[in-house]
Amino acid sequence: MSTTRCLPMLPFATVLLAAVAATATRADDGNGPRYRLRFDGAPVATGLPVEESLFTETFVEVDLVTPEGPVPAVEILTQRSLAFRREILEVEDGRAVRERRSFSRATCRTHEGREQLGFAGKTVTADRLGDAWVFRCDDGTELSGDDVERLRRLFGEEALSDATRATILGPGRPVAVGERWSPAIGPFAERILGLASDAVDLDGAVGELELLDVEEREGGAIGHIVGLLRLPIRKLGELALAEPVLARVEVRFEIPLDDSTASGGALDVNLRIAATEVGLADGSGRSIRPRVSARVHRGTARR
């Protein structure tokens, strides 16, 4: 059986979080209001601190099916829990070039135990140099190489362009409450879920997002987006499968509407793969029993 240390967060977490910060412009065609969803979000500005929390969990278990019964072959568990106060300090050309993040919680857990990350309880200032970020603890504590890499992944996962998010997730038209649209499933699987380009049978993949409802809060309106995707998976990591197994992906997130300043921005994503038995495509005649789950919860509120 194999285990692993803390892995980077699945890309969909922060890509969809960017949608959480999006805005929409309202139109009315006579049949009720329609909302043009915008994925460029509000203009980046200094100040206005935001409280953010993040929890991710990935669990992978693969048993090799033998005449004597299933034999555990792979078992991976990784959890990450972060809570921090984020403040943009400097902006150039519409993007943040200096940020401060104060981490009240930063932990990682695997089968081997729980680890408190080196920047837990620290305030970290980040400076953008080109497309890279440089980090330092404000109290002078030296960050380890692993912690620098974790921070780079966290910031890097947030860097997918607005146009790319809109192309993958957006409807491409104004939508009314209850209206559904299909995301770009291939790019969704590759850019958001982090799957290999040949891992999904796109001919059999289906998915929809929906503007479920609009809620009025102090500061403006919030739109609730829900979605469900069913993806036939033909590769698990390096294992090519004789026939696809089904991945079910449930998505729910909030979007402030009409330049709303309302607090909110919850994000929940759940992915599950389960198969009683599936053959490998290597001609060996071997079969496996895979179980995969991944979940993400992220919240954000402006103070």
pLDDT in tens, 100-140: 999 999 999 998 899 999 999 999 999 999 878 999 999 99
Count CA within 13 A, CB hemisphere, residue 141: 17
Backbone angles phi, psi at 120, to 5 degrees: -60, 130
- How confident is the model at residue 160, as a pLDDT? 59
- Phi/psi of residue 94, each to 5°? 80, 10
- Give the pLDDT confidence score for residue 162 in this predicted structure: 58
Do 250 and 227 contact (CB within 8 A), yes or no? yes
Computed over every residue of the chain, the mean pLDDT equals: 83
- Looking at 141-261, which runs of residues are DSSP E strands? 175-176, 180-181, 206-217, 220-236, 239-257
Q: pLDDT tens per residue, the chain (303 residues)? A: 444 455 444 444 444 444 444 444 455 555 678 877 766 555 566 777 888 898 999 999 999 999 888 999 889 999 999 999 999 999 988 778 999 999 999 999 998 899 999 999 999 999 999 878 999 999 999 999 999 999 998 887 665 565 677 788 888 888 899 999 999 999 888 887 888 889 999 999 999 999 999 888 777 777 889 999 999 999 988 889 999 999 999 999 877 766 666 655 678 889 999 988 999 999 889 999 999 999 989 887 766
Question: Which residue blocks in the chain are alpha helix, DSSP H?
Answer: 12-20, 145-157, 162-169, 185-187
Sequence letter at residue 258: D
Of 163, 240, 246, 255, whose CA–CA distance to 209 is shortest? 255
* pLDDT tens string 194-221: 888 899 999 999 999 999 998 887 777 7
> Which tokens go with 65?
């099916």
Give the domain ranges of the chain. Answer: 12-83+108-113+161-302
* pLDDT at residue 203, as a whole number: 93
Residues making up the chain, counted from first to last: 303
| Residue 61 and residue 290 in contact, taking contact as beta carbons nearer than 8 Å | yes
Measured CA to CA, the distance from residue 185 to residue 204 in angstroms comes to: 11
Residue 89 CB-half CA count within 13 A: 11
Sequence-distant (6+) residues with CB within 8 A of 195 are: 189, 233
Amino acid at 54: L
CB atoms within 10 A of CB 229: 22
| β-bridge partners, 269 | 251, 296
In 165-205, DSSP assigns E strands to: 175-176, 180-181
User: Please, is 147 exposed, middle or buried when counting C-beta atoms within 10 Å of its C-beta (0-12, 13-18, 19+)?
Assistant: buried
Contacts of 114 (CB under 8 A, 6+ apart): 107, 108
Residues 300, 16: contact at Cβ < 8 Å?
no
Give the Cα-Cα-Cα angle 276, 278, 279 (nearest 5 degrees): 150
The pair of structure tokens assigned to 282 is 């290597």
Find, among 58, 60, 3, 55, the residue nearest to 291 by Cα. Answer: 60
Full-model pTM: 0.80
Residue 28's CB is within 10 A of a number of other CB atoms, namely: 10
CB 155 within 8 A of CB 133: yes
